[in-house]
Amino acid sequence: MSNKLICPSMMCADFSNLEAEVETLDKAGIDIFHLDIMDGSFVPNFGMGLQDVEIIRKLTNKLVDIHLMIDNPGEYVEKFSDMGIDIIYFHPEADQHPTRTIDKIKKKQKRVGIAINPGTSISVIEELLPMIDYIMVMTVNPGFSGQLYLNHVESKIKRLASLKSNHHYQLMVDGAISAKKIRELGEIGVDGFVVGTSALFGKEESYEALVSKYKLGDGV
């Protein structure tokens, strides 16, 4: 299995010691810091705040992405772009004009990501695939950590993996991603994994040991 992108979900980090968490993850070799923004409307929860985003962005030179689980995400592209975010994910399900939002992201010279819920079919977003850099498939219903992985989503992941060569996006997954799922999904063409409590945070092994294992597939 080729080297995979490991993206810690910072919603699961220890916020009482955020600076140390970022520095340790950075040294462990993670690829992208993943930040969740929720509005209590598109999903029934509230996520990280602007101050959290600012702090994490200042603490690392690694890529930082933002996952906008909010209504009307296009209205916030400029705000997060100006904060130094590198990759902006939004949900086409929450956006009446997703191509306009994609254009806004590109004009700010940021990478474009779309995220799709477990119940969203590929046909809904297929016309967007030539325009994007990343597609992130949610393998849980978005909004809360600690949920169970939804196995039925894997048929959609396999189909999106088969379409990569036509559109040149990177395929990501997010939600209850365990060590086993990193191995299995990596074998079918997933490029990157958002990891939280199922694979990274709160484990006995160090971040460095876990990240190294997941990136190479050794012993997973």
Residue in 116, 104, 111, 51 with CA at minimum distance from that of residue 75:
104
Residue 95 bears catalytic tag: no
With a cut of 70, say whether residue 123 has pLDDT above it: yes
Q: Annotated catalytic residue: which of 52, 95, 174, 191?
A: 174
pLDDT tens across 1-30, in order? 458 999 999 999 999 999 999 999 999 999
Give burial (CB, 10 Å; 0-12/13-18/19+) of 63. Answer: middle
Domain count, the chain: 1
pLDDT tens across 72-101, in order? 999 999 999 999 999 999 999 999 999 999
pLDDT tens across 28-49, in order? 999 999 999 999 999 989 989 9
**Other C-beta atoms within 10 Å of 31: how many?**
17
What is the C-alpha to C-alpha distance for residues 5 and 7, in angstroms, rounded to an integer?
6
Q: Annotated catalytic residue: which of 14, 36, 39, 133?
A: 36
> Rounded to two decimals, what is the model's pTM?
0.96
Report the CATH number that the domain containing residue 146 is assigned in CATH. 3.20.20.70
pLDDT tens across 172-188, in order? 999 999 999 999 999 99
With a cut of 80, say whether residue 63 has pLDDT above it: yes
Q: What is the mean pLDDT of residues 180-206?
A: 96
Residue 218 bears catalytic tag: no
